[in-house]
Structure 1
Amino acid sequence: MTEPSTTDYVPIACSLHSEYELAILHRQPLHLVWSESNVIHDEVMLPLDLKTEHHEEFLLCRSKDGSIREIRLDHIRRMGTAK
């Protein structure tokens, strides 16, 4: 039996998950808007991978300054391809 989840994570739509996977495969930079600790972030990021930890899903991505970020998928408010 699986242990019940104690997180407030809300799973995203499968179609959106697929869009992230395609962006990773094609190395397509994404323009992301997400919230984290009551701060709204608006950046172009290069998606690297998806991971699941403690029943939560994250997008691993590289910012323009080269730093690696983990963004919880249900915190992303808007996503589009970067120009």
Structure 2
Amino acid sequence: MSEKPYAPIPCVQHERLEFAALTGQWLEVKVDGVRQRLRPLDVYTREGAEWLHAETDGGGARTLRLDRLVLAEDA
């Protein structure tokens, strides 16, 4: 099965993620229907999509495509 083309997220959500990365703020997000607490570390573009590199609540790391997550306040 091929990956769906990237669908850009609203600018306000993108700015919220970038601000959280700059300030070290933790965010509640929904990924594949599951709520998670993440601390954004970087927002970047790769392979025609935008990505978030974040620390998990348990100290691990995740890299997520921005169109695959929903900020909790938008869910």
TM-score (norm 1): 0.75
Runs of 4+ in 1 over 6 A off after TM superposition: none
Deviating more after overlay: 15-24 vs 71-80: 71-80
Q: Is the 8 A contact 2:43 2:51 kept in 1?
A: yes
Alignment partner of 1:13 out of 10, 13, 16? 10
Q: What is the distance in 1 between the residues matched to 2:51 and 2:72?
A: 14
Q: What is the distance in 2 between the residues matched to 1:57 and 1:12?
A: 9
Q: Which has the higher strand share?
A: 1
**1:44 and 2:37 equivalent?**
yes
Q: Is the 8 A contact 1:27 1:47 kept in 2?
A: yes
| Paired residues, number | 71
Alignment partner of 2:70 out of 36, 61, 77? 77
Query: What is the Cα deviation at residue 7 of structure 1?
Result: 5.4
Larger radius of gyration: 1
Q: Which residue of 2 aligns with 1:53?
A: 46
Which residue type is aligned with residue 34 of structure 1? V
Q: Which has the higher helix share?
A: 2
TM-score (norm 2): 0.82
Instruction: Say what the alpha-carbon RMSD is for the aligned residues.
Output: 1.7
Identity of paired residues, percent? 30
Query: What is the Cα deviation at residue 78 of structure 1?
Result: 3.0
Unaligned runs of 5+ in 1: 1-5
Q: What is the distance in 1 between the residues matched to 2:7 and 2:25?
A: 25
